[in-house]
Structure 1
Amino acid sequence: MVSVTRRRGGLAPEHFVPVAWQKWKLVGYLAVLALSIIFGSAYAGPLAAPVKVFFVVLGALQFIGVFGLMHESAHGHLAASRKVNRWLGEAMSVIVGTSYPGYRAAHLTHHAKFRTEADPQEIIFPRRSAPATMALLTVASVVGAPVFLLVRAPIIALKHTGVVRALWGPVAAVALYATLSQVLPSAQWYFLLWTLIAGSVLGSLNDMVYHQGLVAEDTLQACTSFDCDLFGQVFLSGANRHAEHHAYPDVPGPRLVKVAKVLREDFHARGIPYERSFTVAYLRRFTTNPLFLPPRSAVEPVRVEK
């Protein structure tokens, strides 16, 4: 097995250059979200229920897209300027409802301390009893994303920065959605709420199959890489190439498609799991391991020097 942190070794310099157009996806996400709410809340024609579900899911994917861009911002991938990256991340944290400095600190620690007691995004650490771990994994599969973003990230932020900077994102989010509740027609407001709930659940299910149900060690075998690059680039900003992302976190998401082709043979040989789609992966792991517990390792991992 291979340790998850490789940084820049072995890849050409052009793979690490930010992609200028990526930040403009935010405009598209917000536009599609607005249209989904307008049309979904107003539709009353034939097959109203499935049509409304379609628009709820479509809107939820836009929220997941905004989160994906915030994730890219946390890695410094949206612009060459640190200030622009931070400003964009702070703005998107209001839409998501989290603390940007808290999320960034937690996520970068997740990469640096993956599958250790210090990993703030990991469920199976610190080591707990099997029943406690199973309960946490079950809850996380449904509401893990909102609990982390709305509760854990602000708490982590308070440990790293002042109260104002740590909490302004969540406070601004409350103000934003409170204002929307007053200015939007009731049908659109309730449709937005359902969209937010759907985005939280879909985001939690999505996050489960990146790492859960895999080995517990700090290795790339604990990271799934997904071949659904169209979906991944449109809504996840390349995070579907999750093993490659953990191996080279300095590579912007849009460039991970080419990086994945370079690494594919090596990663296959190392036993890194590849899946076609999130839905198939989730159902397969759920049917074989309903609580997503890590399997017992047959052999000890062999790490490379960092």
Structure 2
Amino acid sequence: MSASSENPQVPGSVERVRRAARRVTNDYSVLARIVRESGLLRRRHGYYWTRFGLTIGALAGVWVWIVLLGESWWQLALAAAMAFVLAQLAFLGHDAAHRQVFRSRAWNDWAARILANAFVGLSYGWWTTKHNAHHAAPNQEGQDPDISPGVIAFTRAVMAGRRGWRGWLARRQGWFFLPLLTLEGLNLHVASVRTVLGREPLPHRWVEAPVLLTRLAMYVGVLFLLLPPRLAIAFLAVQLAVFGVLLGGAFAPNHKGMPIVPATAEIDFLRRQVLMSRNIRGGWVIDLLMGGLNRQIEHHLFPSMPRPNLKHAQSLVREYCSQLGVAYTEVGFFTSYRIVISYLNNVERQARDPFTCPVAGMYGR
């Protein structure tokens, strides 16, 4: 029986497109069932309680060494260690925000809120709004805040507005990308303070505002109490710079240089998450430095999957994508940065139509 006879009200070619669209939409449901039946979505309470204890213990240990070391420029090594520990706490907050840690939604929310505001000094409400928008539409113009206009131009449309010296810098922005990451830590704190003191709606502002502001003030105050002013300033500069590089370095390689999706494109969930994401190869060191976000494809497909289970899901996802003919991208750590830098230096020369809807592509629509 022909497609047109199955539905005489709809032309055959249109009906084929609709059936293809339904099939594509069901692709994720099949994968989700496979992963669910594998047990990889189950909570890993032992893993997370252990990591909570070790990381908070490491934070306490850094403070003890700051007190014991006193007036010494070796404090700058402790500043880097502080940045590393705070980044690990931020990754734990990220996991809790994605409901990876506890079964209870409230427990996850409050764990993430406490870690972000009281320990790391970032607004949980500000971050979740931004991050949820990114997950909903990675690399989509007008929807993903991570590619919105800013110091770095990620799209041709933004590049078109850069003239004069700003245009000159934009055409070489890849070389400035890594140095700019050293300012990301400060930028995150400033954005958080603006949010909690602003007028935009913010859930639990009555908790976030006093906790966040007290944490930031006490952190700076204790450093100046324990260290001479110039050493305290140097400590803060190193800690913020390393913190920015660690957090920015965990997120940037995963999407930058992958296809930019036009604002009007409609893409099924599986392809939206896989085709715009990049995994980073590496052993336990890369896992630690990137907080598990080096398996970005699996994380975007299953945001609530506990971090230690992502590596086990990887083979399932890669094989399934291969069966569907969906490109699964994975590169080495240094290769990922070469891609990012090259992309940023050549944004205005990128293809005008870097992404085509898979279903429409089947029929030349």
Change in CA separation of 1:78 and 1:229 when aligned onto 2, cut-off 3 Å: farther
Q: What does residue 16 of structure 2 align with?
A: none
3-state DSSP of counterpart to 1:98:
coil
Q: What does residue 133 of structure 2 align with?
A: 109
Pairing 1:167–2:209 present:
yes
Q: What does residue 40 of structure 2 align with?
A: 15
Q: What does residue 62 of structure 1 align with?
A: 85
Find the partner of 1:128 among 134, 158, 161. 158
Larger Rg: 2
Pairing 1:197–2:221 present:
no
Question: 1:185-264 alignment to 2 at 5 Å?
Answer: 185-186=227-228, 190-191=234-235, 193-217=237-261, 218-264=272-318
CA distance in 1, matches of 2:194, 2:234: 26
Number of aligned residues? 296
Give 1:238 deviation, angstroms.
1.8
Q: What does residue 119 of structure 1 align with?
A: 144
Pairing 1:180–2:222 present:
yes
Two-structure CA RMSD over aligned residues (Å): 3.9
CA distance in 1, matches of 2:187, 2:111: 22
CA distance in 1, matches of 2:202, 2:99: 18
CA distance in 2, matches of 1:224, 1:241: 8
Find the partner of 1:78 among 101, 107, 116. 101
Change in CA separation of 1:264 and 1:173 when aligned onto 2, cut-off 3 Å: same
3-state DSSP of counterpart to 1:177:
helix
Give 1:68 deviation, angstroms.
0.8
Find the partner of 2:195 among 155, 160, 174. 155
Give 1:34 deviation, angstroms.
4.8
CA distance in 1, matches of 2:155, 2:83: 29
Whether the aligned pair in 2 keeps the contact of 1:102 and 1:166 (CA below 8 Å) is no
Whether the aligned pair in 1 keeps the contact of 2:259 and 2:354 (CA below 8 Å) is no
Tell me whether 165-174 or 215-224 shows the greater mean CA deviation: 165-174
TM-score, length basis structure 2: 0.66
CA distance in 2, matches of 1:85, 1:210: 25
Give 1:284 deviation, angstroms.
4.6
Whether the aligned pair in 2 keeps the contact of 1:17 and 1:252 (CA below 8 Å) is yes
Whether the aligned pair in 2 keeps the contact of 1:93 and 1:100 (CA below 8 Å) is yes
Whether the aligned pair in 1 keeps the contact of 2:155 and 2:347 (CA below 8 Å) is no
Tell me whether 226-235 or 152-161 shows the greater mean CA deviation: 152-161
CA distance in 2, matches of 1:252, 1:96: 21
Change in CA separation of 1:16 and 1:32 when aligned onto 2, cut-off 3 Å: same
CA deviation string 1:153-210 (max 9, x = no partner): 8539933436424534431332331342244334578435522321113322332211
Tell me whether 177-186 or 94-103 shows the greater mean CA deviation: 177-186
TM-score, length basis structure 1: 0.77
CA distance in 2, matches of 1:74, 1:191: 29
